[in-house]
Amino acid sequence: AAITGYEAVVKLLLDTGKVNADAKDGATRIALHIAAENGQEGVVKLLLDTGKVDPDPKDKNGQTALYMAIEKGHKAVIKLLLDT
């Protein structure tokens, strides 16, 4: 859902309270990394608004969600992350 920008699905999952939004994949990325890398502004906002997501996580390569957004040129996501 973070990759494709399915905000309604992300919101539903977050609202259950049973989802760890900071859960890491095999590359030690969390949903915030994935959403930021793919320019999913709405998903990034939903994740940050929970107050439970680390806004500056690093993956196994030391890359942050902000770095990924900058690398891909996702200006709206960059702004959200900088304002957090």
For the chain, what are the domain ranges? 7-82
pLDDT of residue 1: 84
pLDDT of residue 50: 92
64 has which bridge partners?
Answer: 58
CATH number of 7-82: 1.25.40.20
Q: Which residues of the chain have pLDDT under 50?
A: none
Number of Cβ atoms within 10 Å of the Cβ of 15: 11
**Each residue of 54-65: pLDDT tens digit?**
889 899 999 999
Please, what sign has the CA dihedral across residues 82, 2, 52, 21?
Answer: negative
58 has which bridge partners?
Answer: 64
pLDDT of residue 26: 83
Distance separating alpha carbons of residues 84 and 76, to the nearest angstrom: 13
